[in-house]
Amino acid sequence: MFGCVITICTNMRKKLLCFVLLIACFHALVVSCGKSDVKLPPDTTKTDPTTSTSDTAIVNLFNKAPVIVWIEAAANFSRLGTADKMAATFQKIADMGAKGIVLDVKGIPGLVSYNSQIAQQLKTWNGYTQADGFDYLQSAITEAKKKGLKVFVSMSVFAEGMNYYGVKYGKVFNDPSFSAIQSQVMTAMGTVQNITDVYSYGMLNPLQPLAQSYELSLIKEVVTNYNIDGFVLDYCRFYDICADFSDYTLAKFKDWAGLSSVKATDIVQSWTTSNGSVVPNVTGSQYKKWLEFRAQTIHDFVSKTRDAIKAIKPHLAFCSYSGAWYDSYYNVGVNWASKTYDPSSEFSWATSTYKNTGYAELLDMFMTGNYTPALNGAGWWTVQGQIDGANRVLKNANIHYGAIDIGNTSWSDLSNMKNAIVMLLQQTKGVMLFDLVHIDDPTANQFNKQLYDDVKSAISQGLAGK
């Protein structure tokens, strides 16, 4: 979620694009903001594993943590730069009524916030440097547990680079093997370019075996070495609908779909720009199968990740975050629905077999970003509509939490924000609050004050109605 922590951005379907705005105004604001090939066709001889609804330990975990605060790494880097600072901040979080935190330990630059033998660590940011020997994650676990807070960690999975005012962080810039597998994006003119030639950040092609094996190695490292309560996938997706159009991906799609040949124009004939994003103008004959292929790619990686985590710690909660707007989330190659839900009955973009890419059953807990100030009404852009839609497509396959973006949503007033928290607490299993910086830093929300007391009153009201 690195890309939109501070910059006000109401169109959250383009969350990564908010990062460009963040870079442009960063000086005026506080930072917030392998070797085997992948098998794409679904394995019809197996079904997805039984999820958390039958794992008593995981059910109990979430019963005890209905309110969780997300803590993005860079935005809170100096705020949580010592154990003492963590102790003081976590006490305020606990006093507010939260029962858990999601600690971001790998953001868009690909640097990690724990002692890693694999990845470069984030040790200095925006002029602040952590003390030698300071283990950010271990210190956070220790201090959070003292306050009775459950600790989840998240990673921006396929994000591996950022060009920050000419300083290029991450493996897509400093490792040729990763530069070679960065996402290839289509431009509005119909040309294919490296993502880093177009945008200020770098994402890997999720289909590439090296990308998958590297990200899995980081996930297994942190799950093995730290006493956490759960792991959360973030940015486990393609960049957007314009990715990935590399020769590698086209060749894999050809084989998967059983085609004798395929060109990019067989998928999308022409492109245009809408709301700052490159989107299809005229689609081709293979477009719908292409969408299924991309969703199958992400499904299979999520399945691999679950298997890897459960092999290490069987009762560790396996979670994910995605935007709540299911109707258009196919743009990033994600089908977060249950396999028992058939989107082709509702949406023209889905094939009859798209339902096989649903990965809800793979997750113990799933957070939807309900990032809109409109509370009531139907459709995918009101909180009520998103709750109803999620219930329809998830079919109770996992534990569902709603989420609000406190600092990037244009609330009509404080009551609007508080009512969103109450609604999600009362109609889902819990709520995730994004982000700590928006609660703690008066300059990082539209109300120009710390929001602990306001959030506390909303939590109390929401829990009273459960």
Instruction: Tell me the per-residue pLDDT of 88-112, one tens digit each, with 9 for 90 and over.
Output: 999 999 999 999 999 999 999 999 9
Residue-level pLDDT at 164: 87
Tell me the β-bridge partners of 431: 67, 402
Residue-level pLDDT at 466: 73
Largest CA distance in the chain: 62
Out of 37-46, 149-158, 182-191, which region has the weakest mean confidence (pLDDT)? 37-46
Measured CA to CA, the distance from residue 123 to residue 81 in angstroms comes to 10
Query: Of residues 21 and 435, which shows the higher confidence score?
Result: 435
Instruction: Summarize the confidence of residues 39-49 as an average pLDDT.
Output: 36
Residue 221, Cβ density class (10 Å: 0-12 exposed, 13-18 middle, ≥19 buried): middle
How much is the mean pLDDT over the chain?
Answer: 90
Full DSSP string of 25-69: HGGGS-S----SPP--S--TT--PPP-GGG-HHHHHHHHT-SEEE
Helix and strand numbers, DSSP H then E, in the chain: 14, 17
Residue-level pLDDT at 21: 31
Confidence of residue 53 (pLDDT cuts 50, 70, 90): low
Residue-level pLDDT at 427: 98
Residue-level pLDDT at 17: 34
Residue-level pLDDT at 459: 98
Confidence of residue 52 (pLDDT cuts 50, 70, 90): low
Residue-level pLDDT at 49: 45
Instruction: Summarize the confidence of residues 51-63 as an average pLDDT.
Output: 84
* pTM given for the model: 0.91
Measured CA to CA, the distance from residue 20 to residue 199 in angstroms comes to 8
For the chain, give the percent of residues with pLDDT over 90: 87
Q: Per-residue pLDDT for 367 more than 70?
A: yes
Out of 25-39, 87-101, 377-391, 430-444, which region has the weakest mean confidence (pLDDT)? 25-39
Could you tell me which of 39, 45, 3 has the C-alpha nearest to residue 24? 3
Burial 306-332 (b: 16+ CB within 10 A, else e): bebbeeeeeebbbbbbbbbbbbebbbb
Q: Per-residue pLDDT for 7 more than 50?
A: no
Give the Å distances, CA to CA, from 76 to 128, 184, 241, 400. Answer: 11, 31, 31, 26
Q: Per-residue pLDDT for 35 more than 80?
A: no
Instruction: Summarize the confidence of residues 38-64 as an average pLDDT.
Output: 62
pLDDT (tens digit, 9 = 90+) per residue, 383-416? 999 999 999 999 999 999 999 999 999 999 999 9
Residue 175, Cβ density class (10 Å: 0-12 exposed, 13-18 middle, ≥19 buried): middle
The gap from C-alpha 185 to its chain's centroid, in whole angstroms, comes to: 20
Which helix (H) or strand (E) is 281 found in, with range?
strand 277-283
Could you tell me which of 391, 235, 393 has the C-alpha nearest to residue 301? 235
Burial 8-43 (b: 16+ CB within 10 A, else e): ebeebbbbbbbbebbbeebeeebbbbeeeebebeee
Q: Per-residue pLDDT for 1 more than 70?
A: no
Q: Per-residue pLDDT for 16 more than 90?
A: no
Instruction: Summarize the confidence of residues 289-295 as an average pLDDT.
Output: 98
Instruction: Summarize the confidence of residues 247-251 as an average pLDDT.
Output: 98
Residue-level pLDDT at 8: 32
Query: Is the domain defined by 34-159+205-236+288-464 classed in CATH 3.20.20.80?
Result: yes
Instruction: Summarize the confidence of residues 24-49 as an average pLDDT.
Output: 33
- In this structure, are residues 380 and 328 in contact, taking their beta carbons and an 8 Å threshold? yes
Instruction: Summarize the confidence of residues 66-70 as an average pLDDT.
Output: 98
For the chain, give the percent of residues with pLDDT over 70: 88
Q: Per-residue pLDDT for 339 more than 50?
A: yes
Long-range pairs for 219-223 at CB < 8 Å and ≥24 separation?
219/155, 219/157, 219/305, 219/308, 219/309, 220/308, 220/309, 220/312, 221/116, 221/117, 221/118, 222/105, 222/112, 222/114, 222/116, 222/137, 222/153, 222/155, 223/308, 223/309, 223/312, 223/313, 223/316
Instruction: Summarize the confidence of residues 442-455 as an average pLDDT.
Output: 98
Measured CA to CA, the distance from residue 215 to residue 231 in angstroms comes to 13
Q: Per-residue pLDDT for 14 more than 60?
A: no
Instruction: Summarize the confidence of residues 275-284 as an average pLDDT.
Output: 96
Instruction: Summarize the confidence of residues 202-225 as an average pLDDT.
Output: 98
Residue-level pLDDT at 75: 95
Q: Per-residue pLDDT for 119 more than 80?
A: yes
Measured CA to CA, the distance from residue 240 to residue 238 in angstroms comes to 6
Written as six digits, the tokens of 29 are: 């604001």
Written as six digits, the tokens of 194 are: 């490296």
Which residue matches tokens 């700052």? 276
Phi, psi of 144 (to 5 degrees): -65, -40
Q: Per-residue pLDDT for 18 more than 70?
A: no
Measured CA to CA, the distance from residue 52 to residue 318 in angstroms comes to 9
Residue-level pLDDT at 397: 97
Instruction: Summarize the confidence of residues 152-174 as an average pLDDT.
Output: 95
Residue-level pLDDT at 376: 98
Q: Per-residue pLDDT for 440 more than 80?
A: yes
Give the angle subtended at the CA of 104 by the CAs of 244 and 33, to the nearest 5°.
75
Instruction: Summarize the confidence of residues 247-253 as an average pLDDT.
Output: 98
Full DSSP string of 90-138: HHHHHHHT--EEEEE-B-TT--BSS--SSS-B--EETTEEPPTT--HHH
